Amino acid sequence: MEKLMSYDRFGIRNQIVSMFLVVILPSVAASIFLLLSIRNVAKDKSLETALSNADGLGYWVSDITAAGDQCTDSIAKSKVISDFLADPPAERSDYIRFYLENPISKTISVPAQVKNIYIYTSGDDFVYNSTFLEITDEVRESKWYQRARAARGVSWDVLKDTSDGEYKLACTRPVMNGDEMTGLVVVLMSNDWVKNVNIESNVKLVFSADGKVFYSTYEPLMAGSDLTVYKEYDSETASATYNGSLYGFRGYAVAKNMSYDRSSFQVALLLPEPYINYDTNRLTVIYAGYTGLMVVLSLLIILLFTNVFSSRVKTLSSKVHSVAGGNFNVNFEDSGRDEISQLYADISIMIENMQKLINDNYEAKLQSEAFKLNQMEAEFKALSSQINPHFLYNTLETIRMKAYVNNDRETADLVKKLGKFMRRCLEFKDGEVTLQSELEFTRAYLELQSARFGDRIGYSIYSEVAGDYMILPLLIQPLVENAYVHGVEGSKSKGRIDVSVYYHKDCVYIDVTDNGQGMSPEKLKELEHKLEVSDTSSGKSIGLTNVHKRIRMYHGKRYGMTISSTEGKGTTIRLVLPREPQTGLSVKGQ
C-alpha cells in the first residue's frame, strides 16, 4: 500500500507515460496470444480442408469400384461369352465372326470409368485377339492371377496396362461353367478422372489398393510401388492426419481408408510444410506488423501528449507556487481553449476574489469540485470518441477482402453481412424507419443465423405492405431472435421461422411464426402478464416487453403485441400497427 501511495512522487509526465504503458502492454500480450491462436486455427483449417478433399476423392474411388464390380459381373454372367468360352468354335472363321460382332459391347453398356476389358482363357486351338488373351505360364505364376483364381468372385489388384504402359486399378472375376473356370475377366479402370481432380499442384496425391499404388503424383511413390505406411488403419471409413516423414516427404499426410469386396483402398494427400504454413506465416507478418505499428504510433502519441500537457502543467504549477508565496501580481494568461486554459482564467479570478472576499472559501471549494467533475466528463467523452465505428467497418472489410482473395467466398459473404448488420445496430437512431429497411435488417440477421445452423432452420419473409411504410426501428428482429432462442434452436426436428406483413382492416399485422417448442398455457399466461405490466425484473423476455411498450407509447394502447402458442407445435407473435400511422408523435393516448 505504501508503494502505491508513493506513486505520486514521480513527475506528472512520468505518471501519464506509465499509465499508458500499463494499458498498452497487456494489449500487446493479448495480441501475441491471439496471433498464436489464429495460427493454430489456420493450420487446423487447412488440414480439415485436406480431410474433406480426401473424403471427396474417397467417394470417387467408391464410384470406380462400383462400376468395375458391375462391369465384371455383367460380363461373367453373360450367356454369350460364357458359352463361347465353354465351347469355343472349331473354325477360325467362326472366331472372326464372333469377334466382329463385338460381344462385350453388345452384351453390356461399358461404364465411362472403364479403360480396357480383357478376358483371359486357355485352349490349344483357341484363336486369341486383343480382348481375349491367352493364360500363359507367366500369367499363371503371377500373384494377381493366383489371387483372382482363388477368390472365385470379384477381386481387386493393380496391373500394368500393356496398351499405354500405365498402372491401373484392375477388377477381376472368374467366368464359371459349373465348378470349372473357363476364363478370367479383367477390367482396367481409367486414371483420367484422377488427372482432372482439382487439387493444387504442390499437394501430392497417392491412390492405392491393398497396399499397392495405382496412381501417384509423388515420385518416390510412383504407380506400381508398395505402400505400407498406414497398415494400422484397416477400418472401412478410417481417416487421419499424420505429421512426419513419408519416403522423404516432409509435411503432413491426410489419409482416407475404405474397404470394398474384401479389398482395402486408400487415398493419401501429401501436404508440404510450406503449403500448410504459408497462410499462417503471411498472417503472422501482417498481424505482427500491424501490432508493431500500433505500438510505435501509440508511444509517439503518448510522448507528444505528455510533453505538451506536462509543460503547461509545470508552468501553471510554478505560477501557483508564486501565488502561494504571496505574489498576487502573477499574470495568468493562456492562449489555449481547453480545460487548462480555463484553469488559468479561474485562478486569475480566484486571486482577485481572494483579495476582496477572503471568506468566500466555501464557494471556491464548490467551483473546484465542479471543475473536477467537468474535467472527468470531458476525459470520458474524449475516451468514448476514440471508439470509432468506421475502424470496425474498415477492419471487417479488410477481412472480407482477404477471404475473397483466398477464394473463401462463403466467409467473405458472411463478413459482409455481419458488417451491414453491425452498421445498422451502431447507426440506430430514434424516430421511424421504412418497412423495407427494417425487413432488410431482419433478413441480414436471418442470413447470419442460417450460416450458423445451416439446413436445420429455414425461414421466409413475405410482405404485401409498401416498402415505404414507416415503422419504429428494431421491432421485428427481436421477435425473430426470440423465435430462434426460445423456439426452434433446441428443437430436434427441422425448424422454420416465417415473417409475414399484411393488411387487416385498418391495421397492419406483422406475424413472426415458428414451429418450435411452443409454450404451456401457464407459461403463456405468465408472459402475457409481463407484457401488460411491462415487468422486466426477472431479466427474461426483456426484448418482447420493450417492443410492446414502445408500440403502445408511440401509437396508443389499441396497438401492441399478441402471442399465441401451442406446446410442442410452435408460437406466433403478432404486432398490431395502424394502417396509416401519424408520424412525428412520440406519445399517444388511447
What is the per-residue pLDDT for 344? 67
What single letter denotes the amino acid at residue 257?
N
CATH topology of domain 428-578: Heat Shock Protein 90 (3.30.565)
Q: Tell whether the model's pLDDT for residue 326 goes beyond 90.
A: no
The sign of the dihedral angle between the CA atoms of 290, 295, 300, 302 is: positive
AA identity, residue 470: M
Minimal CA–CA distance to 55: which of 271, 269, 252?
A: 269
**290: enclosing H helix or E strand:** helix 273-324
Q: Specify the higher pLDDT residue, 373 or 526.
A: 526
Residue 462: predicted pLDDT: 95
Chosen CATH of 8-291 out of 3.30.450.20, 3.40.50.300, 1.10.8.60, 3.40.50.720: 3.30.450.20
Instruction: Name the helix (H) or strand (E) containing 381.
Output: helix 361-385
The most confident of the ranges 100-114, 128-142, 343-357, 380-394 is: 128-142
Encode pLDDT of 204-233 as tens digits: 888 888 888 888 888 877 888 877 654 443
Proportion of the chain above pLDDT 90, given as a percent = 14
Say if CB 457 and CB 494 are below 8 A apart: yes
Mean pLDDT to the nearest integer, 344-356: 69
Q: What is the pTM of this model?
A: 0.45
Query: Over the stretch 415-431, which tens digit does the pLDDT of each residue have?
Result: 666 666 666 655 555 57
Residue 236 has pLDDT above 50, yes or no: no
11-42 per-residue burial string, b: 16 or more CB within 10 A, e: under 16: eebeebbeebeeeeeeeeeebeeebeeebeeb
**Region 459-480: what's the mean pLDDT?**
92
Grid coordinates in use for 511? 406475424
Number of Cβ atoms within 10 Å of the Cβ of 278: 14
* Lowest-confidence region among 315-319, 384-388, 433-437: 384-388
Q: What are phi and psi of 246, to 5 degrees?
A: -140, 100
Domain locations in the chain?
8-291, 331-387, 428-578
Report the pLDDT value the prediction gives residue 404, as an integer from 0 to 100: 58
Closest C-alpha to 543, from 496, 470, 480: 480
- The pLDDT assigned to 67 comes to 86
Whole-number pLDDT of residue 559: 93
pLDDT tens for residues 532-548? 887 655 555 577 888 89
Residue 530 CA to residue 94 CA, distance in Å, equals 95
* 180-210 pLDDT per residue, tens: 888 999 999 888 877 777 677 678 888 888 8
CA distances from 182 to 231, 271, 523 (A): 35, 47, 78
C-alpha to C-alpha distance for 565 and 519, rounded to whole angstroms? 6
Pick from 150, 224, 232: nearest CA to 191 = 224
Q: What pLDDT score does 78 carry?
A: 86
Instruction: Quote the pLDDT of residue 464.
Output: 95
d(CA 422, CA 428): 10
Give the per-residue pLDDT at 376: 43
Ranges 42-46, 145-149, 365-369, 452-456, most confident: 145-149
3-class secondary-structure state, position 62 = helix
Q: Mean pLDDT over residues 74-83, rounded?
A: 87
Rounded mean pLDDT of the chain?
Answer: 76
Q: Is the pLDDT of residue 359 over 60?
A: no
Residue 247 has pLDDT above 70, yes or no: no
567 or 41, higher pLDDT: 567
Torsion (CA) 86, 88, 90, 92 in degrees, nearest 10 = -170
Q: For residue 31, is pLDDT > 90?
A: no
Cell 382492416 -> residue: 505
Which residue type occupies 208? S
Phi, psi of 491 (to 5 degrees): -75, 140
Q: Is the pLDDT of residue 383 over 70?
A: no
| Range picked from 7-11, 277-281, 492-496 for highest mean pLDDT | 492-496
**In whole angstroms, what is the distance from residue 444 CA to residue 572 CA?**
21
Q: What is the residue type of 2?
A: E
Whether the per-residue pLDDT at 93 is higher than 80: the answer is yes
Rounded to an integer, what distance in angstroms lies between the CA atom of residue 548 and that of residue 527?
12
How far is 177 from 81, CA to CA, in rounded Å?
11
- Identify the residue with better confidence: 316 or 122: 122
Q: Give the residue carrying C-alpha cell 452384351.
A: 107
Cβ(271)–Cβ(203) under 8 Å? Answer: yes
360 vs 283, higher pLDDT: 283
Range of 236-250, 323-337, 417-431, 480-494 with top mean pLDDT: 480-494
Does the pLDDT of residue 505 top 80, yes or no?
yes
Question: What span, in angstroms and rounded, lies between the C-alpha atoms of 67 and 169?
Answer: 12
pLDDT at 41 (0 to 100): 73
And the C-alpha cell for 294?
500500433
